[in-house]
Structures are given as C-alpha cells and as structure tokens.
Amino acid sequence: MNYVGAGTIEFVSDGKEFFFIEMNTRLQVEHPVTELITGVDLVEWQLRVAFGEELPLSQEQIKLNGHAVEARVYAENPNKNFMPSVGALRTWRMPDAVDGLRIDAGYGEGKAVSPNYDAMLAKVIAWAPTRDLAISRLNRGLEETDIRGVVTNIPFLSALITHPDVRANAIDTGFIERELGKLAPEPPMPSELELGAAVAAILDAEAEAAIGDLHSPWRSSGWTAVGARQRRFVFRQGAAEHALTLRYGREASTLCIDGREIGFSSAASSRGGIDLVLDGVKRHIAGLLDGREIYVRTQNGRFEMHWVDPFGTEDEEQAGADRVVAPLPGTVVALLVQEGAMVEKGAPILTVEVMKMEQTLRAPFAGTVMKLKCKVGDIVQEGVELAEIEPLKGTAKV
C-alpha cells in the first residue's frame, strides 16, 4: 500500500492496482450550526451510514431555516498571545439550552484541563430567524457562562461578536490582528459596584461554608462579641489596591469606599448568583471566591481581583515575574538569542510549543543573557527556568 497523492491511496494485490479516494469522515467542530439551520442530526446520520443505511434525505430535500452562529470557548489567554491555560475547573456554569441556545460541552466542574490535548472546553451555539438576533442570543449565552480555575477566551468572544464590523459582516482575515487591542483590552478598574460585588462574593462563600456548622458566628451577619462590628477589605487588581470597610447594622449595613457611605445588602439568589443591593439599587451579579481570588460579573463586564490577606506578606505573588520560565509543559522549538547578548525589555528570547501553539517568551527587563538553560527539542515542565538574564546596572526587575 502506498500513498500516491493527497486524498488517494494505492493498493496493490495480485499484481493489480486498485485506487481509492481517501475521504475525511470526521465531523468538524462547526457541525452544530449546520444542524440548527437544517434540523438534521449529522452525528446520527454518520452513524447510520456507518451501519450501512441509506441517507434519510437527499440534498434537494434539505431546507435551510434561519441563522446560526457558534463560539468556541477555549482555555486560553487572549491578553498573552492566546497562551493555553491548564488547571482544575473549580466553577462551571453554562446557560440553559433555551430560546435558541445550544451548549456542547466536554468538561464540567471538577474536571482538569490537561496540556496534552486541545484546549477547547465547550461550544456555545445560537439560532434565530435573523442574523442579528442570532448574534444577540449568542452573546447572552456567553455572558451567562462562568468558568473559573483556568483563563478563558469568553470576554474576547463577547467583544468579537458584538463588534460593529462583525455585526455588519464587514471583516476580513486580518480583522482580529488589527483590532486585538480593542477585543482583548486591559481590564478596567473596578467601580463601587464591582467592589461591592467582591464583598458580596466573600460573604456568600462564608455563608455557604457556615451552613454545616451550627455554632458558627458567621451564620448571623450582624454577630459581634461587643460593640459595633465592621470588617476591612483590601482588593488588588494589577498594581492598584482598593480599600473599603463594611459596617454591619441591625437594619442595614454600610460600605465605606473613599469616604463615601453606601447602603449595602446581599443574598444568594434563587436563580443562581447573588442579589446585591447597593445604594438602594438592586442588581443581579455573579460572584465567586476561589481561595483569595475573586471573580465578579456585573453589568459593566467581568472583573478579577485578589483579596489581600491582612496577615500575610504575599511576596509569592511576584515569584517568577522577573524570570524566563516555561508557562506550561511544552517543547523548546527555537532559541532566538545567544548567551552574552544584550536585550531590551520585551525582546524575544525563545519559543516553546504548548498545546499545539507556539509561544514566544520575552525578556522581563533589559539586561544580558547570562545563560540559556535549554536547547531546541528539550521537553520542559511548567515553571522551569529556561534562560538567565542579568539586569543592566540601575535597571530594576519589574
């Protein structure tokens, strides 16, 4: 048996040659959009054909109805060149498959995303009579999706499908590269709403943890041994810190943010998430606490903050920030500098292949490449230092 050309296989038997056309029989990831506008289950059809049955319909009998659009939810970070993200999925919340939505998911809460396979987590598909409505339904599905434990491309997907050029179908293959700064911008600073949502997420997590402890004082939000009770919270987003105080009251609590006192109350919602009342305005928000990392989703978008431990030094947050290390298990495919080279901050140092994607690691500061600790072809583990760079005199490691 020999391969003769693309799509053709040659068999030789008893001196005779037989040629067969090779066919790719796999279903592409986009098959749900075809199924939604035709009403045909392509997976079922493929299985029936494999068992020797005839196709139920001819091409002429298949009718197209409406519009469908699909988004592929990936464990990847658009702000870091779409670098794959691995880890355990601590939270998995997908919208109900109603009002034109379809959810195809291969993961769930508690499952682990491995570096050994493709990083796709799920597909969110929407059908509607019109293209604009299908896009709106898809965006609603994405906005109601919360996955924690890994970084996902959900905010990027939402920004992409709501972009005016995408809605107008006026894009080309260079669109994402040109608009990436707008599609994956730096996260905005949290407002009073997001800070209040962060506090609500902490209180919700504490209340849930206290359910099994009948003697926990946290079962009563106004509990205190003596005097008025208050708690101070400090949240960090990037280099910025936000401090606020929660003052408990018998009738209502108050948040003090930058000298402003705001009425505050929160409770778990019967429809999932948290009902937050801030300054007399009730809003439904999503708030999740994972260790000391907080994720909130409000009408302003998605926000991630770190809850600063008042009793910890937290120096470990900067570990690895000034080193060239493997972000995930992968293979070194290119060395882009030589030992002894002078490099500027951001200069490419080497390239690793991670989860079928090439990632270029760059100098965290200006300096001299003292040692390359790997060679092309090396299989490296996450966190392993791959290059040693000595900063220039007078240059801080930032």
Question: Tens of pLDDT along 84-109?
Answer: 888 889 889 999 999 999 999 989 99
**Helices 175-183 and 154-161: crossing angle, nearest 10°?**
110
Question: Tens of pLDDT along 263-290?
Answer: 999 998 887 889 999 999 999 999 988 8
Listed residue (245, 265, 263) closest to 254, CA to CA:
263
Residue 33 pLDDT grade (very low, low, confident, very high; cuts 50, 70, 90):
very high
Residue 148 sits at the vertex; the CA angle it makes with 143 and 150, to the nearest 5 degrees, is 115
> SS3 for 332?
strand
**In CATH, what is the architecture of 66-183?**
2-Layer Sandwich (3.30)
Strands 379-380 and 330-335, sheet pairing: antiparallel
Question: Tens of pLDDT along 171-213?
Answer: 999 999 999 999 998 888 999 999 999 999 999 988 888 776 6
> SS3 for 100?
coil
**Residues of each domain in the chain carrying CATH 3.30.470.20:** 66-183
Listed residue (146, 252, 229, 243) closest to 192, CA to CA:
243
Question: Tens of pLDDT along 289-310?
Answer: 888 889 999 989 889 999 987 7
Torsions phi, psi of 79, nearest 5?
-80, -10
Query: Is the predicted pLDDT of residue 12 greater than 50, yes or no?
Result: no
> What CATH number is given for 192-307 in this structure?
3.30.700.30
With pLDDT > 70 as the criterion, what percentage of the chain qualifies? 85
Tell me which amino acid residue 368 is. Answer: T
Most confident of 36-50, 248-262, 342-356: 36-50
pLDDT of residue 311: 65
**Residues of each domain in the chain carrying CATH 2.40.50.100:** 319-391
Query: Is the predicted pLDDT of residue 155 greater than 90, yes or no?
Result: yes
Listed residue (321, 355, 288, 320) closest to 76, CA to CA:
355
Catalogue the active-site residues.
26
In this structure, what token pair is assigned to residue 233? 């919270």
pLDDT of residue 290: 83
Q: Can you tell me the mean pLDDT for 37-64?
A: 92
Question: What topology is assigned to 319-391 in CATH?
Answer: OB fold (Dihydrolipoamide Acetyltransferase, E2P) (2.40.50)
**Residues of each domain in the chain carrying CATH 3.30.700.30:** 192-307
